[in-house]
Amino acid sequence: MSGKKRILDYKIVGLGVSTGGPAALHTILSELPKNFPVPIVIVQHMSPGFLAGFVKWLQGDVTLPISLANDKEKLLQGHIYFAPDQKHLSIVENGGSLFASVEASRKPSSFCPSINVLFESLSRIGTGKVLAGVLTGMSGDGIPGICALHKAGHYTFSQDIQSSIVSGMTKEAIESKCVYDVVPLDGIAKFMIKQLQGKIT
């Protein structure tokens, strides 16, 4: 892990998660307040055809609105956006606002949607504007992306190994030394709120 530093003025939160994600995301998102001050974008690896049902299930226990991201959609404060089935989600900044870019993969990939695609797009947003985390999962997707975010001066974290249902992703993230904090699952919502406390009123 790198040395601690405090970054303020976040514009967005990004999360990448694979195996074990539905339960982990339910734990985190259900604890966030309705006045959460920035959009949240998520890549969840899931078999095609199940994501819409998962989003509907989540919405039953989460106060923030949740949807699958649409291409060219402006991201709104306190909304949660998932990358759609078999589409990559990138975030672009235009005129001070953030927009979703959704498109099919242009090359063969083991992961579509890809955490790396999302994280690498977030790394290009102004320095210190992104809070991004790697959660439970077995794949290596997201590790180059979290390191790109770290290198660009954003604040990065990982779920801890002990609370990860599958610890492949979190172990790699921690060993990469590209995360500032390692947080147990039951503390991630509070951690996110604390990081954004200057924006939550």
**The domain spanning residue 157 has which CATH number?**
3.40.50.180
Q: What is the pLDDT of residue 39?
A: 98
Q: Which domain holds residue 188?
A: 12-195
Check whether 140 has a pLDDT greater than 90.
no
Average pLDDT, integer, range 154-167: 96
Task: Report yes or no on 4 lying in a domain.
Answer: no
Q: 19 versus 14: which is more confidently predicted?
A: 14
CA-wise closest residue to 2 among 173, 143, 168 = 173
Provide the CA 79 distance to its chain's centre, in angstroms: 13
Q: What is the pLDDT of residue 106?
A: 63
Task: Report yes or no on 53 lying in a domain.
Answer: yes
What does the pLDDT look like over 168-189, one tens digit per residue? Answer: 999 999 999 999 999 999 999 9
Q: 54 versus 199: which is more confidently predicted?
A: 54
Average pLDDT score, the chain: 91
Q: What angle do CA 131, 133, 137 make, to 5 degrees?
A: 165
CA-wise closest residue to 43 among 122, 151, 96, 155 = 122
Q: What is the pLDDT of residue 8?
A: 60
Task: Report yes or no on 123 lying in a domain.
Answer: yes
What does the pLDDT look like over 35-77, one tens digit per residue? Answer: 999 999 999 988 888 999 999 999 999 999 999 999 999 999 9
Task: Report yes or no on 156 lying in a domain.
Answer: yes
Task: Report yes or no on 87 lying in a domain.
Answer: yes
- Structure confidence at residue 201 as a pLDDT band (50, 70, 90): very low
The proportion of the chain whose per-residue pLDDT surpasses 70, expressed as a percent, equals: 92
Exposure string for 47-70, b = 16+ CB within 10 A, e = fewer:
eeeebeebbeebeeebebebebbe
Task: Report yes or no on 2 lying in a domain.
Answer: no
**DSSP code for 101:** E
Task: Report yes or no on 16 lying in a domain.
Answer: yes
Going by C-beta distance under 8 Å and a sequence separation of 6 or more, which residues neighbour residue 57? none
Would you call the peptide bond into 113 cis, given omega within 30 degrees of 0 as the criterion?
yes
- Split into its structural domains, the chain has a count of 1
The model's pTM:
0.92
Q: Which residues are catalytic?
A: 18, 45, 141
Task: Report yes or no on 7 lying in a domain.
Answer: no
